[in-house]
Chains A and B, each alone.
Chain A
Amino acid sequence: MVDRRHFIKNTAGGLAALGGLTLLQRSGLAAATGNGQATIPDALPGKEALIKQTYRPPNYETPINYFDTPFTPNNQFFVRYHNAVIPEVKPGEWRLRIGGDAIRTPLEFSLEQLRKDFEHVEIAALCLCSGNRRGAFEPPVPGLQWGSGAMGNALWRGVRLKDVLAGAGIDKSALEVSLAGADSGVLPTTPNFVKSLPLAKALDQNTLIAFEMNGEPLPHWNGFPARLIIPGWTATYWLKHLTALNVISEPFDGFWMKNAYRIPKDRFPGGQFGSQETETTMPITEILVNSLITNLEDGQTLPNAKTIEIKGVAWDSGNGIAKVEVSADGGGNWQQAALKQDYGRFSWRQWHSVFEPKHPGQYRIMARATSHSGATQPLEPVPNPSGYHHNAVQKITIRLV
């Protein structure tokens, strides 16, 4: 694995020196004239056609009409990478290394050891990209222009991170755990996607190293053979193709903690990460209460009927969903939706509602979730420079004819 990565880096690093353009043109990478397209469906190997945001690194979101099942099928699950070199990890060769200056004994595990040596745990949890719905911010915010499909709910099976770290002997000086995976940038100068967690979150009983998703091995594009599951926190911490965990006594200072995935301090409720906070900003952490209508789209025309069904999902950081209210008249009247089966506080909750239109015409449909902590969705998203945490109440217009 390491050899291959070095080979790729060295080879690609020679691109510019060799007169990269000609080679790029030969390879079909170079672009011709014309206009770009915003989003198009495209299938990665092993995946159904999803909504393509970028080809390389691969970023694909799930069409919302696929969200009609409690658990998002693996071959429809969204894909999000920051760097383009994504090795196909051989399970027999994969190793997880535990190190850092705040442990007493460095450890190394094979996949088999990880499966055999620790208790297995299964948790239903929503994996939600921090930038989901960024494309809905006005004015537009640069970054991947995600719709509502950079998320998925799954049943994750693995072992507790705290059990795995215990044998290493965590020192009193431990502050954070840094997280690294097998993927990397094309050039050796590009920072790897490395994140860190506060020690307490790393040792939370719900923080898992998962090797199964919905009863199957993790798909390659979702982190095979093992990834982190941080229920209730946005997916930026859910490291894929996990290879190294370092328990450290100083705040991790890589690009992906210090410069990216940050929000203005005191603008959003909940979530703390003291060792990574500055006077003005902090890392994004907890998922905000949110909901999505999954069976109707803005601008859709439907035949008028006695009853119109409205379905969707709702979620938060782990308090659980207390209620979902639906309005069919632009927020004048609200009625409570029926909540479907509860798969646990980190899972999204499916909901269902019907309204009886009095006549054909236009209807403004809205849905608003409230969590058990009492938090509810705002009518407008809270502006922030990177376009994270879009959790405004959806407002869609349908036409009955």
Chain B
Amino acid sequence: MRTLILLLSFLAATATAGENRIFLKDRPGKNQVVAQCAMCHSLDYITAHAAMLDRAGWEKTVGKMIGSMGAPINNADKQVIIDYLAQNYGK
């Protein structure tokens, strides 16, 4: 419980109210995308790149988040996330 309170106070401190207005498409994989990506950044980073990256582009981006930015995403989730992004926000 104590951890939960601390966690919510952290989210309240860093997340901005405006983030509620970002909507991702409700398709399979969205849960993993939200859980993994929104840990570090708002989801407008995704919507802003809609139709700009093809599958290879999204693969490269997710790979950068894991390899360079230190995102702790396992291989199974990585594949789900790439599929979701390529299918719903791909070029």
Binding site for B on A (CB under 8 A): 7-8, 11-12, 14-16, 18, 20-21, 23-38, 40, 42, 44, 52-58, 84-85, 140, 142, 144-145, 185-191, 255, 259
Contact = CB atoms under 8 A, between A and B. Distances in A.
B35 interface: yes
Contacts of A191: 68-70
A190 B70 contact: yes
Interface string B16-32: 11111111111000110
B79 to A, nearest CB: 17
Nearest to B43: A31
Interface in B45-75: 45-50, 52-53, 57, 61, 68-72
Given A37-B21, A84-B41, 7 more contacts: A8-B14, A14-B3, A23-B8, A30-B34, A33-B24, A36-B47, A58-B16
A31 B31 CA distance: 9
B10 A11 contact: yes
A14 B39 CA distance: 10
Contacts of B49: 142
A26 B7 CA distance: 11
B16 A33 contact: no
Contacts of B8: 23, 26-27
A195 to B, nearest CB: 16
A24 B12 CA distance: 11
Given A54-B44, A187-B71, A30 B16 contact: no
A56 B48 contact: no
B48 A53 contact: yes
B26 A32 contact: yes
Contacts of A255: 68
B50 A185 contact: no
Q: Which of A7, A8, A53, A56 gathers most chain B CB within 10 Å?
A: A56
Nearest to A86: B14
Interface residues of B, number: 49
B48 A38 contact: yes
Contact of A54 (B31, B42, B50, B70): B42
Interface of B: 3-4, 6-8, 10-26, 30-31, 34-36, 38-50, 52-53, 57, 61, 68-72
A32 B30 CA distance: 10
A143 B39 CA distance: 19
Contact of A189 (B7, B25, B72): B72
B10 A36 contact: no
A140 B14 contact: no
Contacts of B20: 28
B47 A186 contact: no
Contact of A21 (B19, B34, B47): B34
Nearest to A143: B49
A84 to B, nearest CB: 6
A29 B19 contact: yes
Q: Which of B6, B7, B44 gathers most chain A CB within 10 Å?
A: B44
B7 A36 contact: no
Contacts of B71: 187, 189
B24 A31 contact: yes
Nearest to B52: A140
B46 A36 contact: yes
A54 B34 contact: no
Across the A-B interface, give the 6 residue pairs with the lowest CB-CB distance, nearest first: A36-B47, A189-B70, A34-B23, A33-B26, A55-B42, A31-B24
B38 A33 contact: no
Contacts of B39: 12, 15-16, 20, 24, 186-187
